[in-house]
Structure 1
Amino acid sequence: MALFSRVLNKTRQQFADAADNNHDDFAALEEGLIMTDTGAGLAARLIQEVRDKDTSKPPAALLADVMAAHLRRLEASLTLDGRKPFVIMVMGINGGGKTTTIAKLCRWFVTRNKKVLLAAGDTFRAAAREQLGEWAERLDVEIITGVGDPSAVAFDAVRAGTARQCDVVLVDTAGRLPSQTHLMAELAKIRRAIGKSMPGAPHELLLVLDSTNGQNTLAQIEAFQQVAGVTGLVLTKLDGSAKGGFLLALAEKMPKPVRFVGVGEGADDLEIFDADAYALALSGMNSQYST
């Protein structure tokens, strides 16, 4: 609860401003949902669910319960299934926090006694390779780099991960916009190369999303899904987003599992998504109202 109360500060302020601190006013609560990028239609349906509940709870507390029920569709933590190495391909648009997220994921697995290998598959941006290399040194993990074909880097990394008996191989890819058709097609090529190196891989296709983009992220999910497939999401920059309600739209329209949320710039600032805590923080209600 405390965690999301901190990172959702801007979203909660939007909600409070719209609701004018009147948590007993259904219209104000609906406006608060709209202001946090839930969407008008969904906001109306959520408030109707609240109205239909026969209980003495305050409306805002009921809304927290309703939101939590919807958000639970997104709960599904990342679990290694015994395949070794477990290959994770990480994708995202430019500037979304992808490389930093990979470092955090690396730290997550290392602290759980997993042997990790990094693949610097962003061969277009030298700064990305350098940044990932610095994290590899800091976290004391090996890294495979290259300056040419990113598919070749990914292929070599998976082969190396297998030979070195690594538990996890994290494959970085260059940031790209869905409108960049040739770069999007390259993702499919990288995925095929990984599959040739290890049949059945990649085992997880993680899409990193910038939470400040709100519902615009839904179009990104659809575009990456069509090209390479998406099995899980990582949400970044929740601390700077005033659009935290977009997760409710995500849960309704395309409920992809939210594996992690980024809550800061540090290596340890990665948390498992918790629907109940998120809903309580979004509504501004105390944990005493949770179900």
Structure 2
Amino acid sequence: MNSNLTTNRAGGLLGSALDSVAADYLVYSEEVQQAMSEGKPIVALETTIVTHGMPYPANVQTARSVERIIREGGAVPATIFIKDGKIRVGMTDAEIEALAQTGHVVKASRRDLPVVLATGQTASTTVAATMIAARLAGIHVFVTGGIGGVHRGGEDTMDISADLQELAQTEVVVVCAGAKAILDIGRTLEVLETLGVPVLGFQTSQFPAFYTRDSGFAAGYRVDTPDQVAQIAHVKWSLGLRGGLLVGNPIPEDAELPPADIGQAIEAALRQAEADGIVGKEVTPYLLAAVERLTEGKSLQANVRLIENNAAVGAAIARAYAARG
């Protein structure tokens, strides 16, 4: 059992006891275990990008590229997935390849974790599930492409991602290129405000929109350095304020897609999804695949660039947070 689970964060005796029990479900790669023992900065990564977010082999290539960028940035990547009743923190290249080739993989969010662990199913982790795993492992920074949020028409369907509630209750810095552009970004930001989640624009005052740098909505606050993010996280958690921080890091300028073009593709994809009766957790991967087809692969290229950019920023934030001791 890893003692870091009960010493890396404050939570009281009950919280420590619960974390100790949860540790029985965690398995670390050799690289991550060594990084923990040496106090190195670690960045958590999700695996739905491998199983549901990108086609093969771009999914495997991107997962490996993101890990490489994090290592080059002075941190250690901890890509997370679930297999044989364990949350596995850190993956080898062979494991990433094997996960990509696995026929049926559950897309696991908070509600799915107890089921897939108890039944021994193989699962990739969403933003919400990765945040939970990162917190249990004492990892403070998590990099993803874009968070989930309120789906368009969500005021009627109530299709709202569990990612938002997780940000309200789980102490992890989440670095992303904003909410996925297929979502209702305005309502997503309203929910985050209601839940008390600080939304930071990294070197921008605008909240990014995944494929584009400006969603048309302001970020809550602008930050310009990784140390500022680390300081805000430190103060928030020192005050006992639960929940994470959301860092919106815009896609690089040379990778941004024309807003009008991506907007048309998203609208067409939404119509296709409705006609095909796509609902629930299948909506996002369906829409991403449809947008890729409609943009002739340009959206996939943008997706790769933005998550690689997020990895570099996430590594810098992890270093800054670790430097605080």
TM-score of the two chains, using structure 2 as the length reference: 0.29
- Structure with bigger gyration radius: 1
TM-score of the two chains, using structure 1 as the length reference: 0.32
